[in-house]
Structure 1
Amino acid sequence: MQRALKAATRTWGSQKGAIHVAVDAHGMPVRIVVTAGTTADCSQASTLIDGLDAQHLLADKGYDSDAIVAQAEADNMAVVIPPRRNRKQPRECDRQLYRLRHLVENAFLHLKRWRGTATRYAKNTALFLAAVQIRCIAFWAAIL
């Protein structure tokens, strides 16, 4: 089975921070980064994909930058990112493969099912990251 990496981000309130997650081909979280709510998605992409063994990088338009594409191609990943509308030289995007990005959305669904992460009870970033990591461990344990 081919391994694919999908990266996505969601913000749970602008003042509460953003969570950036990379998942594998089965929708299981493999890397988590929590940042301030005003941090751009593309600024965390290099942290998410650095050192991961994947054949494809599936991401949304927020990750469409030349630096991310160059880094993914340097790591021998096929880039499946829809081009932004204002891109001067649009790239082709495999829409059939891009449909697998729903696995990322499913990972966020599982994270948000846990009340502590959905409502962000943790008062600081370190505690919030710990809560998300515990939820990911529980998610991995349920699957295995």
Structure 2
Amino acid sequence: MTAEGHFVEGQLTGGNVHDVTVASGLFEDIVGCYALGDAGYDSDRYRRDLMSNNNIPVIPGRKNRKIPIDCDKKIYKLRSRIEMFFGKIKENRRLGMRYDKL
């Protein structure tokens, strides 16, 4: 997400696909940005991939990590905009899908 609140890139996956499996392809072309994600994206390999392109991972560490990882809470709060966007899509499914019963 940019400073103005615009989405840079996104990808939808099936419910049976883990998010981190497709995440590396999402940030290939993005350089020098903050990469926001929830604890499901917390893996050392994914963090290394992000940092190799000068991206800053803002991903909270999982509770079972041996070495805790700090993330910038102020930037992480911006992730709520993404959650609200998808919440609105789910609420207004009639507008997003544009289908009739017949």
Same fold (TM over 0.5): yes
TM range (shorter): 0.7 to 0.9
Q: RCO (CA 8 Å, sep 6+): is it higher in 1 or 2?
A: 1
- When normalised by structure 2's length, the TM-score is 0.76
- SS of 1:34's equivalent in the other structure is coil
8 A contact 1:27–1:104 mirrored in 2: no
Q: How many Å apart are 1:53 and its aligned residue? A: 3.5
Give the structure with the higher percent strand.
1
Q: In the alignment, what sits opposite 1:125?
A: none
- When normalised by structure 1's length, the TM-score is 0.57
8 A contact 1:28–1:107 mirrored in 2: no
- Count of aligned pairs between the two proteins: 98
Match of 2:86 among 108, 114, 123: 108
Change (3 A) 1:47 1:91: same
Show structure 2 runs of 5+ residues with no match: none
Structure 1 runs of 4+ with >6 Å offset: none
CA distance in 2, matches of 1:107, 1:82: 21
Aligned-pair Cα RMSD in Å: 2.4
Match of 1:52 among 5, 19, 30: 30
8 A contact 2:38–2:59 mirrored in 1: yes
